[in-house]
Amino acid sequence: MKTNIIAHVALTFEFSAPSGPADQRSMIEDDIGRLTDADSTSGVACTGFSVTSIETATQNSAVSRTHIICATCGSENVRADAYASWDADTGEWALHSIYDEKFCEVCETSTSLLEVDEATGLEVQAFGMIYCDDGARLVQGRELPEFYDLIVKTMAVAGGEILTLHEFDDMNRLEVEKCLADMAMLYPSAPVSCFFGDLVGSGRTNLPS
């Protein structure tokens, strides 16, 4: 007796040239379709499949930078006590040393700071969202987003916590595209992920056009 099993698998595909969502779906379906024609070597045969959603993530090769953020809230609006002396030749204060006391303007209290690499420690994520009985959820498959959210967040820091540097909610498509461009200016090395279902922007980069 044969048994049919549905397996949910996440696959990553690399496209050598920019392409639209429809072309991406077609090429992915063609590539996966080869499995249905291949001879099984393990006694398991792929008899069918469906592509329910497409996500894209791209990263550029710009030189990365280090960001100093509050370890409590993730804000970059932080200060450090320091010692400086006046340099008459340059007409500027010259920094001599930085003391242990750190302060977060958002938390309005003393804090500890984290150093985060822009390319490996930060990520810009934009989401297509749908209203539902529980409030809102991420779009699925061919659903048309009703609004968009965007966050700039850290990867997991010490203790596994993820900190949010920026958050923008309830945007339309034009607003989220502008916000993506603005964040690309602020964080040119950070990877960008757009979860827009089938409407995900193809060839997405985090370099301003």
pLDDT of res. 25: 73
**Number of C-beta neighbours around residue 124 at 10 A:** 23
Q: How would residue 202 be classed by pLDDT, with cut points 50, 70 and 90?
A: very low
Write the CB contacts of 202 (distance below 8 Å, at least 6 apart in sequence): 18, 19, 20, 21, 23, 24, 56
CA-closest candidate to residue 11, choices 54, 41, 66, 69:
54
Predicted pLDDT of residue 201: 45
- Using the structure block, give the residue that is written with the tokens 């993730």: 74
Least confident of 36-40, 143-147, 195-199: 36-40
On the question of pLDDT at 175 being above 50, the answer is yes
**CATH dotted code for 56-67+117-199:** 3.10.20
Q: What is the model's pLDDT at position 156?
A: 84
pLDDT score recorded for residue 208: 34
Reference 180, options 137, 150, 148, 140; nearest CA is: 150
Distance in angstroms (rounded) separating the CA atoms of residues 104 and 4? 57
Average of per-residue pLDDT across 29-52: 70
Which residues in the chain are classed under CATH 3.10.20? 56-67+117-199
Q: Return the pLDDT at 81.
A: 93
With the CA atoms of 101, 102, 105 and 109 taken in that order, what torsion angle do they form, in degrees rounded to the nearest 10?
A: -60
> Is a pLDDT exceeding 70 seen at residue 98?
yes
Is the model more confident about 40 or about 11? 11
- For residue 45, what are the contacts with CB-CB under 8 A and spacing of at least 6? 36
Q: What is the per-residue pLDDT for 200?
A: 46
